[in-house]
Amino acid sequence: MAAKIWSTKKNKKIIFKNSPCVVTMQGLNNLENNIITLKDMKILKNQDVYISDGVFQAIGENIADKYVNLSDCEVIDASNLVLMPGLIDCHNHPIFAGSRANETVLKSQGMTYEEIAAKNGGIAATMKATRAVSKEKLTEIYKLNAKDALAKGVVLLEAKTGYGLNPKEERKMLEALYEAYNGEDAQELPALSPTYLGPHAASPEYRGLDNYIQALVEDLPNIAALGEEAVKKGISLPLAADIFLERNFFTKEQSERWLGAALQHGLDVHIHSDEFSRSGGAELAAELARRVEQTASKRRQKGRVLTVDHCQYSTESDLGRLATLGVIAVALPSTSFFSRIPYVDAKRWRASGVKIAIASDFNPGSAIINNIWFACYLALSQCAFSLPEVYAGVTVNAALALGVEDSYGIIEEGKKATLVAFEGNSADDFFTSPIGDHVRHVVL
Ligand code: NIG
Ligand code: FE
């Protein structure tokens, strides 16, 4: 059964009546030891949730009978539905062309992601396919992937470029993303949090990674301007920047150069790192975050260091430093599943005190399923994150990961309303389906 999508922008009034379990995520402001428990999820029982004009207007018992004129209101019987904040997929590569299904066969025969990449598979293969299609085609592909995500409850989707691999082609990817939100069906898409991932792999046009970084840095003012224009038009959240810092990809020095420039242009930053080795992304994030802290007081400094993603090889003290500086660690367990690499260890992450987000990392190679529920299922079953950690990972903490904690990730009166309703009557019914087949309603 396909989920029903409700867009609440156009004077729409909706009431969910008598839900046995409303997971609000309201209790996370005063955590003891940074360990999230069931109590912090602030679960309400047998309540109505009333939404109008895109805002949670009221949450409580029998609201429907007391306050709401039901005649012009969509009334949903929620007596077998768990309600939670709209899901946030804070790490996704939803715009690319072509298929790398052959890599699944190669991996099954024992080849690693890195070996495939070294033989012109991997990101380089998707670059070729992506360059070969028009911008319009890329927009179409993005829309399909974004609608799939929305149907599973993702109301805010991070979308990375990274398969253009030169300034012109990367720009084409970014414009294709924005174009999706200029169309009439923009209401049927999740909100967009775009990320410019120019330095995802080597560029065929530039000899050496240093030269490619140099070219990307030179083009940064144009890219930042494109991002600002989209925000002004109201079609997108601010543009962020990212890099793949890993052995055989970009070095810590190259990453520092790129991310330092991005921060100066007011872009928030993410880092793909510590995935195959302790390549230094967590360390660099801490250094940059400290630098931002120090300069922010001296002059207006907009860019923030938001996340380090993957982190299989980050040490407890690496993660501990991120915790101190408010940088979020993003676990991507689907990548471990599909690329046959180690899962992160929840115990170590928990002990470090770092805030944890969980995301799909959907892409054509290392994580080929566009499904945040599957990532959550693996986070619980394979990494041993707890149920409250998983909930926080795709709501409040994912909102922090994208710098949008004021408007996403929580069910609270007066706040912007996004919501997912799935079949069940208690919080652990989240895991009734590993792919979100039980999602019935999505409000954005
Ligand atoms: O997050 N690690 C780098 N980037 C992606 C993989 C992209 C690809 O293989 O196409 C990731 O796993
Ligand atoms: Fe990724």
Res. 300: pLDDT tops 70: no
Q: Which atom of ligand 1 is nearest to the CA of 335?
A: 12
Mean pLDDT within 318-322:
97
Mean pLDDT within 252-275:
97
Contact 315, 249 (CB under 8 A): no
Contact 350, 319 (CB under 8 A): no
Q: How do residues 172-200 score in pLDDT, each as one tens digit?
A: 999 999 999 998 889 999 999 999 999 99
Res. 64: pLDDT tops 90: no
Q: Which atom of ligand 1 is nearest to the CA of 100?
A: 10
Q: How many angstroms does the Cα of residue 104 sit away from the middle of ligand 1?
A: 14
Reported CATH class of domain 4-85+411-443? mainly beta
Give the count of beta carbons closer than 10 Å to the beta carbon of residue 219: 17
Mean pLDDT within 330-339:
98
Task: Give dist(CA 380, CA 337) in Å, integer.
Answer: 13
Res. 123: pLDDT tops 90: yes
Q: What ipTM does this complex have?
A: 0.97
Q: Which atom of ligand 1 is nearest to the CA of 113?
A: 9
Task: Give dist(CA 62, CA 75) in Å, integer.
Answer: 13
Q: What is the CATH number of domain 87-401?
A: 3.20.20.140
Res. 443: pLDDT tops 90: yes
* Cα 243 → chain centroid: 15
Task: Give dist(CA 59, CA 40) in Å, integer.
Answer: 18
Q: Which residue, 343, 327, 337, 346, is CA-closest to 434?
A: 337
pLDDT classification of 69: cutoffs 50, 70, 90: confident
Task: Give dist(CA 401, CA 24) in Å, integer.
Answer: 19
pLDDT at 129: 98
pLDDT classification of 376: cutoffs 50, 70, 90: very high
Q: How many angstroms does the Cα of residue 363 sit away from the middle of ligand 1?
A: 6
User: Is beta strand 55-60 parallel, antiparallel or unpaired with respect to 47-52?
Assistant: antiparallel
Q: Secondary structure of 91-121 in the HEC alphabet?
A: CCCCCCCCCCHHHHHHHHCCCCHHHHHHCCC
pLDDT at 357: 98
- Tokens of residue 169, six digits: 């082609």
Contact 435, 373 (CB under 8 A): yes
Task: Give dist(CA 197, CA 188) in Å, integer.
Answer: 25
Phi and psi dihedrals of 108, rounded to 5? -65, -25
Domain-wise residue ranges, the chain: 4-85+411-443, 87-401
Ligand 1 pocket test, pick from 200, 362, 363 with the greatest ligand atom count within 8 Å of Cβ, gives 363
Sheet holding 47-52, edge to edge: 55-60, 47-52, 13-19, 74-77
Ligand 1 pocket test, pick from 91, 93, 360 with the greatest ligand atom count within 8 Å of Cβ, gives 93
pLDDT classification of 9: cutoffs 50, 70, 90: confident
pLDDT at 100: 97
> Which whole-number Å values give the CA distances from 395 to 99, 144, 401, 412, in the listed order?
30, 23, 10, 13
214 class by beta-carbon count within 10 Å (0-12 exposed, 13-18 middle, 19+ buried): middle
Residue 329 is which amino acid? A
Question: For all residues of the chain together, what is the average pLDDT?
Answer: 95
Res. 243: pLDDT tops 90: yes
Q: How many angstroms does the Cα of residue 2 sit away from the middle of ligand 1?
A: 29
pLDDT at 31: 67
Task: Give dist(CA 250, CA 115) in Å, integer.
Answer: 16
Mean pLDDT within 398-407:
97
Task: Give dist(CA 97, CA 105) in Å, integer.
Answer: 19
- Tokens of residue 23, six digits: 């997971």
Mean pLDDT within 127-148:
98
Phi and psi dihedrals of 293, rounded to 5? -55, -45
Q: Which residues line ligand 1 (CB under 6 A)?
A: 93, 122-123, 126, 244, 272, 275, 335, 361, 363-367
